[in-house]
């Protein structure tokens, strides 16, 4: 399934007034925007783009160990109808990035990418329109991973977290690269229908790698009882538990809403980096 096809369904279901909130006017410590250009990017469809641009925002300053590796990086992935700046809405940013909060921007190096087709990243409306390559979830994940590892030079992240589509991207980035993550947070998501069926085969080596799992501190899911992705969440958790993962799951009331994701953040954030 292409991203465009499934995104239409998600947009109809997940859109809410909360997405209309403007990003916070607060300028967080060392807040910067940048662009990582991947030359001759090959999409899953076989199509190529001479220059794929991935736009991103970072907060905070990288801290490095004696070997020069960044030690305080986290990445937050957005949902279908938003961009990385969704995490800068006051209702989230003030509780995440402020002094003393779980992702205090004075302590952590926070990466907020715009997925392909969103925000400042390459998208059909840039000019190619219908001639823009057909992009899939794998393409978005691959480009975000390359931003982190090649563009920003990060080898290990303390946390990867995402909601809705960003939650599935969280799984697709973390599961095949388990040694690079300590905390994994998935809000209102799982492997979507049509993706779940292939995930066990696709990620077989990682799913069965006991050594890679040993450094995981927390794998956390939360989804509403009326969320159309509740079934996907539960099936994903069952698959992970089958392969020896310890998963913490919280089922809330309500559906696929930004208000729920704010509540999940309240529950998940205090568990980080304990």
Q: Please say whether the beta carbons of 248 and 218 come within 8 A.
A: yes
pLDDT of residue 271: 85
Question: What stretches in the chain show pLDDT beneath 70?
Answer: 1-26, 274
Q: Closest Cα partner for 141 from 170, 112, 120?
A: 170
Of the chain, the end-to-end C-alpha distance in Å amounts to 39
C-alpha torsion angle, residues 187, 192, 193, 197 (rounded to 10): -120
Structural domain that includes position 189: 3-271
User: Which tens digits make up the pLDDT trace of 245-271?
Assistant: 999 999 999 999 888 988 898 888 888
Global pTM?
0.87
Integer Cα distance of 236 and 196 in angstroms: 7
What CATH number should be reported for the domain holding residue 239?
3.40.50.1820
| Total structural domains within the chain | 1
Predicted pLDDT of residue 241? 96
Q: What is the pLDDT of residue 65?
A: 95
């Amino acid at each position: 399934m292409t991203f465009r096809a499934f995104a239409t369904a998600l947009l109809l279901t997940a859109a809410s007034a909360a997405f209309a909130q403007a990003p916070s006017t607060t300028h967080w410590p060392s807040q910067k925007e940048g662009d990582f250009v991947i030359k001759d990017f090959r999409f899953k469809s076989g199509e190529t783009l001479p220059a794929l641009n991935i736009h991103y925002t970072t907060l905070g300053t990288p801290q490095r160990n004696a070997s020069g590796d960044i030690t305080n990086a986290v990445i937050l992935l957005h949902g279908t109808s938003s961009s990385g700046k969704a995490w800068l809405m006051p209702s989230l940013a003030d509780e995440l990035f402020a002094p003393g909060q779980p992702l205090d921007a004075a302590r952590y190096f926070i990466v907020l990418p715009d997925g392909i087709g969103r925000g400042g990243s390459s998208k059909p409306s840039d000019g190619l329109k219908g001639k823009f390559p057909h992009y899939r979830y794998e393409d978005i994940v691959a480009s975000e991973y390359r931003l982190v590892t090649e563009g920003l030079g990060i080898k290990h992240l303390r946390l990867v977290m995402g909601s809705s589509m960003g939650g599935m991207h969280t799984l697709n980035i973390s599961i095949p690269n388990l040694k690079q993550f300590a905390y994994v947070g998935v809000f209102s998501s799982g492997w979507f229908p049509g993706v779940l069926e292939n995930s066990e085969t696709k990620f077989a080596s990682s799913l069965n790698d006991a050594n890679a799992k040993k450094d995981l501190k927390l794998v956390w899911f939360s989804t509403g009882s009326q969320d159309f992705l509740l079934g996907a969440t539960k099936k994903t958790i069952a698959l992970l538990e089958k392969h020896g993962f310890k998963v913490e799951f919280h089922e809330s009331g309500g559906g696929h809403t930004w208000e729920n994701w704010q509540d999940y953040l309240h529950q998940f954030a205090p568990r980080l980096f304990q």
